[in-house]
Amino acid sequence: MSIWRRHGRDMLLVAPFFALFGLFGVWPVLRSAWLSFTDYHATDDPAWVGLRNYAELAADERFWTALGNTAVYMASVSAIAVVLGLMLALSFGSNSRLHQWVRVAFFLPAVAGGVGAISAWKWLANSEAYGLFNSLRTALGLEPARFLGDPQWTLPVLVLVGVWSVLGYNLVIFVAGLRAIPEELYQAARLDGASRWQQLLHITLPNLRPTLVYVTVTGMIASFQVFYEPYLLYGAVDTLGGPLDSALMLVTYLFDRGFRQLDLGLASAAAWVLTTLLFGLTWLHLKLMGRGR
């Protein structure tokens, strides 16, 4: 019996998925890879230019600014959100009513995030004396700060918003990971006289490694792709990068070059640089985490 006769019906059933995946998943990726080697402005057919777009990216000071900002943002958000998320999970991981409410409170931003939440942050960080942050500063006897108009405040504000939006998600994942660790391990450790710190170091963290890897890698990828937070907090009709480009991220840069300046070939090259960096970072992270096993 031929393969077609045996699996024909199954193949027909999964064919729509593969057709859609090929059309909307694989084809755009391949097309963008090709476009990254072309001069393309949407209005005419793409013209092959070889590595020119990549050379232009390498020579663009703004691209490096965006890359630097994104790297600092990614490192800060993923590190703080992982450490804080784990601490919160260890502190509020039980089934008590209070702990459940605390987890709900921290998870709310993951549900209620988006444009509305960023608008609220914009209001809180308002540079006027009546913005919430500045009201607190004034109460402490400090001068109001220009949170949204001073380059030295840009990354701290963005990191704060970024951590706030992912902390609840990390907390929930860590709680699930902690509950999967067999209680017998802790009982045995306690019988052997292990302190809480020793239990954390020798039982919790090693057993939580897969969860840690997952949360860190997905957090890094998400924060590397950050777009709408800097775009909404610092972007305007006349500028996308905020004060002195301090809020310019890689995806914002890509959007600017691709859709504002209609330089779609160069934007595709930027997208491939972003993808390659993400692959590299993920591989490196998995390698480092795997080495300790």
Partner 1 sequence: MIYNAAVIRRTRLLQLSLCLGLALANGQALAARLVIWMVGDDKTPQLMQPAVAAFRAAHPEVAVEVRDVPWADAMTKYSAALASRRGPDLVTGSTSYAIALGAKGALVDLNEAAPDLARQLERHANPGALRAIRGSDGRLYGAPFDMHVQLQYYRSDLLQAAPADWDSFITAARRQRFAQQSGNTSWLGFYPYLRQAGGAVYDASCQRAVVDSPEAVRALSFYARLYRELQAPTDGWPDADGGLESGAYGLMQSGTWLLSRMDMVHKGLVGRWAAAALPAGPTGKRTAVLGGTVLAITRFSPNRGLALDFMRTVYQPEVTRRMAEAALAYGGMWLPSGRQDQIASLPLPHREALLAQLADAEGPPPCPAWMRQDYILTRAVQRVVLAGGDAQAELRRAATVMNRALEAQR
* 237 lines the binding site for partner 1 (CB under 8 A): yes
114 touching partner 1, by CB under 8 A: no
Exactly one of 13, 14, 26, 42 binds partner 1 (CB under 8 A); that residue is 42
Q: Which two tokens stand for residue 109?
A: 């931003």
Nearest to 39 by CA among 24, 23, 56: 56
Q: Which two tokens stand for residue 148?
A: 């949204």
Q: Are 248 and 241 in contact (CB under 8 A)?
A: yes
Q: What is the DSSP letter of 293?
A: -
Query: Which residue number, 253 or 272, has a Cβ lying nearer to partner 1?
Result: 253
41 touches partner 1 (CB under 8 A): yes
Chain positions 44 to 63 lying near partner 1, rule: CB under 8 A, are 44, 62
Rule CB under 8 A: say whether 230 interacts with partner 1. no
Among 108, 128, 182, 276, binds partner 1 (CB under 8 A): 128
DSSP state of 142: P
Kindly state the smallest distance separating residue 13's Cβ from partner 1, in Å: 26
Looking at the Cβ atoms of 229 and 245, the one nearer to partner 1 is: 245
Our CB check for partner 1 shows the closer of 115 and 288 to be 115
Is 148 a residue that touches partner 1 (CB under 8 A)?
A: yes
146 near partner 1, judged by CB under 8 A: yes
Q: Is 47 strand, coil or helix? A: strand
Q: Which is nearer to partner 1, 87 or 136 (CB)?
A: 136
Taking the least distance from each CB to partner 1, the nearer of 226 and 240 is: 240
Q: Is 137 a binder of partner 1 (CB under 8 A)?
A: no
Smallest separation, CB 232 to partner 1 (Å) = 9
Q: Residue 161's closest CA among 244, 238, 249? A: 249
> Using CA atoms, how far apart are residues 149 and 256, in angstroms rounded to an integer?
20
Residue ranges with strand state E in 38-160: 38-39, 47-48
Give all strands (DSSP E) within the chain, no chain letters: 38-39, 47-48
> Residue 293: how many CA atoms within 13 Å on its side-chain side?
10
The verdict on 28 binding partner 1 (CB under 8 A) reads: no
The amino acid that residue 248 corresponds to is L
**Contacting partner 1 (CB under 8 A), which of 109, 219, 242, 265?**
242
d(CA 205, CA 75): 20
Q: Candidates 89-97, 134-142, 178-186, 240-248: pick the segment binding partner 1 (CB under 8 A).
A: 240-248
Which phi and psi (to 5°) does residue 2 adopt? Answer: -70, 165
Would you give the end-to-end CA distance of the chain in angstroms?
A: 47
Give the binding range for partner 1 (CB under 8 A) out of 12-20, 102-110, 120-128, 273-281.
Answer: 120-128
Residues of this chain that interact with partner 1 (CB under 8 A) are 41-44, 62, 126-130, 146, 148-151, 234-245, 258-264
